[in-house]
Amino acid sequence: MQEANILLVDDETSIVKMVEMVLEKEGFSNIYTAHTAHDALKIIQNNPIDFIVLDVMLPDLTGFELCPKIREVSDAYILFLTAKVSDLDVLTGFAIGGDDYVTKPFNPLEIAARIKATLRRRELPVRLKKAVQKNTNRYDFKEFSVDVDAGELIVDGKVVQCPAQVFHLLIYFCQNPNIVISKQKLLETVWGFERYVDDNTVTVHIHKLREKIEVDPGNPKYLKTVRRLGYKLVKE
């Protein structure tokens, strides 16, 4: 059985039961459920939750309103369920502490795949650190640098807060400068996703990374898009 505490938050009972059933078949046993933001927060405050599937539309608070409250007491991985797919909605979710999103309708096996990938990724910082020790634990660019040991992104001489997944993505690009890397390769290597995954996950995180390291994110100098092939981090 998978050792992870999972919380499903949705006011649609049928969706909760469907996802819960699939997760149980996939080997997960510690599953909590809530149909309101109030109940969800109470569970989170009293249990060490690892992964939260959070619907955006709840009867008492929206998922976007609940997310900052969760972040006050928990660093659990938060996956939004949303029927909204606009860039603004997605970026709002990330800005307030969310980690990823799935649009409705969705395949519940995708939720299981993302949870498994998240659990595997717990070991990722160790693997990344071992890999970079062969050469260097610091990468320097003109406007920014990455200190792997300290877990810091330094931009213009100042440490910039960087979400863990965005930092992992940046390290991987630093390990492979001037090489075009496909979305699928990034999903497999950085996320650990193998199936049932919307590659918009990569697109959104690339956007967030550019906001951290680029002077002009809309006209990137370092993290380039290579049309129909992927992305590459340019290093002179």
Cβ proximity of 5 and 43 under 8 Å: no
Tell me, what's the pLDDT at 228? 87
Which residues of the chain, if any, have pLDDT below 50? 1, 125-135, 195-196
Report the CATH number of the 2-121 domain: 3.40.50.2300
Q: What is the DSSP letter of 104?
A: S
Helix axes 108-121 and 13-25, enclosed angle (nearest 10): 50
The CA distance from 168 to 55, in Å, is: 26
- State pTM to two decimals: 0.60
Tell me, what's the pLDDT at 178? 95
Which fold would CATH assign to domain 124-233?
Answer: Arc Repressor Mutant, subunit A (1.10.10)
**Taking Cα atoms as reference points, which of 96, 5, 98, 109 lies closest to residue 54?**
98
Name beta bridge partners: 106. none
Query: 27: left (phi > 0), else alpha (psi -120 to 50), else beta?
Result: left
Domain boundaries of the chain, sorted by first residue: 2-121, 124-233
The CA distance from 229 to 235, in Å, is: 18
